[in-house]
Structure 1
């Protein structure tokens, strides 16, 4: 693990007891939606980090939420509906409603919002990059992929800084997603949409692109560990987000 990632992980471990967790219910689209919230010691003016869980549920992201709060962010882990994460504008609107709620309730900084997702939750995060990219500074994907249907419809209004980390498990699809792009086609898609320079190797298992607007894409091409949330993923995502103002 890189020295910077070790430092972030150590700081998160030492400061985590200062974070506090609470539940939140938001009515959106006529339905009550549950959200797990982890607050930093000083939530006023804090950045916002939305985290969308995969098939394992919010429990897989508990450590990520605690580390994110220790890094100073308000971390929101929304639960999907009974049918799972939905396609299209519904989840985008819900995510934007969560940002507004964080600003109203805790005085969060709306100019420093980030989104991360695991598995199918990573597809939700990519939809936000496609349809609401101007509301987020960066996106993190863990064990996720890009559906062909989303790629065809995606028209980002703003450059999207993305870190994607491979996982050992298969990627769950959303209903109606169809086929998933290969990792190579997914990288090529986001590099094209962000007007990036040629890919550069970063270490033995990562590929990095420098893109327009100061945006960076970083793809971990090897599996960094087994399990739904690979070892090292939390520190890698938070280090990447820190480069964009977390």
Structure 2
């Protein structure tokens, strides 16, 4: 199916018509990549939910269980296939024999725990996305030989906040999480009670105009989409949860691209017991963008996009340290 037509369907047609026009086993090839994604559905509590799946080449011949990385799209107008096309997760997954999964939110959004706003529909606010993603993990274990002890989750923006919510409410199903351009929703942080210790990576821009580093309302100008805690408060929550009482190891990355208006510092906090850790990538001067990706480059709207690091590779290395 041509990509332009696929985008037209999502933006112009009701979701039930999309389900009829796109077969469940359809294969979508993202432009400018060698990625082949299978469109799949599962039914969770009577609701049909969808996801894109990429199985590594060795999965067909191996009988061993495989690690899984689940990547959650942001809250725009596109689903998981767009995130796949904009990042390098698929090539890393194929190289390392990892199952890559890109779930789809309802109307391309996740119920990440923020309060209701004008932008977020009643359908999204009532969605049990924790239940869906938990059921999806169980489905991957039973249908695709996924290792239940090696399930990793990452997400951008709305997907990053949903990743943090999963860390709060389904930590026992996850080996590690990585949230990008996302802070803890204010409605979530005071009631967050993870069942287990959990390695956490945060990757935020200090000049993000949409999800503010210092916390507050999410959105542009008068358009508000709920409130989030600051990056410092989000970091502090996970440090306390994981009993991280040592100073961080700090790495300043080389400012390779001097034209992107930003630079990167990594603060790695060792926790107890090792190798448990919490990691913060502080994108100094960075905006609402995934570093090193092919996400839209709109500096006037989103702020600078850092190109000194490859965000997907940094997250991948973090997951490898925790059993990927």
Q: With structure 1 as the length reference, what TM-score do the two structures score?
A: 0.83
Do the aligned residues in 2 keep the contact of 1:159 with 1:212 (CA within 8 Å)? no
- Aligned match of 2:247: 199
User: Which of 1 and 2 has higher RCO (CA within 8 Å, sep 6+)?
Assistant: 1
Gaps of at least 5 residues in structure 1 are 1-15
Gaps of at least 5 residues in structure 2 are 1-32, 114-126, 212-216, 253-264, 293-309
1:10-37, CA deviations, whole angstroms, 9 ceiling, x for partnerless residues? xxxxxx85x6421101112322111011
Residue among 183, 208, 211 paired with 2:268: 208
The 3 A distance-change label for structure 1 pair 227 and 84 is closer
- Aligned match of 2:318: 240
Find the aligned partners of 2:188 and 2:91 in 1 and give their Cα distance: 30
Q: Quick check: 82-91 or 203-212, which moved more?
A: 82-91
1:60 aligns with 2:60: no
The 3 A distance-change label for structure 1 pair 41 and 169 is farther
Q: Quick check: 213-222 or 81-90, which moved more?
A: 81-90
1:34-54, CA deviations, whole angstroms, 9 ceiling, x for partnerless residues? 101111112351111111111
Find the aligned partners of 2:319 and 2:98 in 1 and give their Cα distance: 11
Instruction: Report the secondary structure of 1:139's partner residue.
Output: strand
Find the aligned partners of 1:54 and 1:154 in 2 and give their Cα distance: 22
Do the aligned residues in 2 keep the contact of 1:38 with 1:65 (CA within 8 Å)? no
Do the aligned residues in 2 keep the contact of 1:120 with 1:173 (CA within 8 Å)? no
- Aligned match of 1:140: 178
1:82 aligns with 2:107: yes
Query: Deviation at 1:177?
Result: 7.9
- Aligned match of 1:170: 210
The 3 A distance-change label for structure 1 pair 84 and 166 is same
Find the aligned partners of 1:61 and 1:150 in 2 and give their Cα distance: 28
Q: Which has the larger radius of gyration?
A: 2
- Aligned match of 1:187: 235
Q: With structure 2 as the length reference, what TM-score do the two structures score?
A: 0.64
Instruction: Select the structure that is richer in helix.
Output: 1
Q: What is the CA RMSD across the aligned residues, in angstroms? A: 2.6
Query: Deviation at 1:206?
Result: 1.4
1:40 aligns with 2:56: yes
Query: Deviation at 1:114?
Result: 0.4
Instruction: Report the secondary structure of 1:84's partner residue.
Output: coil
- Aligned match of 2:165: 127
1:128-186, CA deviations, whole angstroms, 9 ceiling, x for partnerless residues? 11111111110011111111211111011111101111245623969x98421111111
